[in-house]
């Protein structure tokens, strides 16, 4: 079982806005920055959001991140078919002295 809790699935229609949540604790999200990773089918994970809400160059501004307390969220606006992928959150955990991930959310574009 993953330390960070994400819904296993999410869905939306093209153009819609969807949000994926990530719940942790004071030893991880409550203290450290959250990053988000996108994994397209059959490929390796790719950094999508870092430091809670920063986008690497090349990531469309349709993707945004936020954090409040011990929870974080990834929002995708103007949903496109190519956004269909697995999305995972991650943070450092100082009680485990290691990285913890969410179990991943499979996003389906209907």
Partner 1 sequence: EVQLVESGGGLVQPGGSLRLSCAASGFTFTTYAMSWVRQAPGKGLQWVSGIGGSRSSDSTYYADSVKGRVTISRDNSKNTLYLQMNSLRAEDTAVYYCAKSAGYSYGTYFDCGGQGTLVTVSS
The answer to whether 44 contacts partner 1 (rule: CB under 8 A) is: yes
Q: Quote the Cα angle for 58-59-63, to 5°.
A: 165
Judged by CB under 8 A, the residue of 10, 47, 59, 75 near partner 1 is 47
The answer to whether 109 contacts partner 1 (rule: CB under 8 A) is: no
Reported in sequence order, the residue ranges of the chain that DSSP labels E, i.e. its strands, are 9-12, 18-23, 35-39, 46-49, 63-68, 71-76, 85-93, 98-101, 105-109
* Alpha carbon distance 24, 96 (integer Å): 13
Judged by CB under 8 A, the residue of 27, 32, 65, 67 near partner 1 is 32
The answer to whether 12 contacts partner 1 (rule: CB under 8 A) is: no
The answer to whether 99 contacts partner 1 (rule: CB under 8 A) is: yes
How many positions of this chain bind partner 1 (CB under 8 A)?
Answer: 25
The answer to whether 35 contacts partner 1 (rule: CB under 8 A) is: yes
């Amino acid at each position: 079982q993953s330390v960070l809790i994400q819904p296993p699935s999410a869905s939306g229609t093209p153009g819609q806005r969807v949000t994926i949540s990530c719940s942790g604790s004071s030893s991880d999200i409550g203290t450290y920055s959250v990053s988000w990773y996108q994994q397209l089918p059959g490929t390796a994970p790719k950094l999508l959001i870092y430091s809670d809400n920063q986008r690497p160059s090349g990531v469309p501004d349709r993707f945004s991140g936020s954090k409040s307390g011990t929870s974080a969220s990834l929002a995708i606006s103007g949903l496109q078919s190519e956004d269909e992928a697995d999305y995972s959150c991650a943070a450092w955990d100082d009680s485990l002295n290691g990285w913890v991930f969410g179990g991943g959310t499979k996003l389906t574009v209907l």
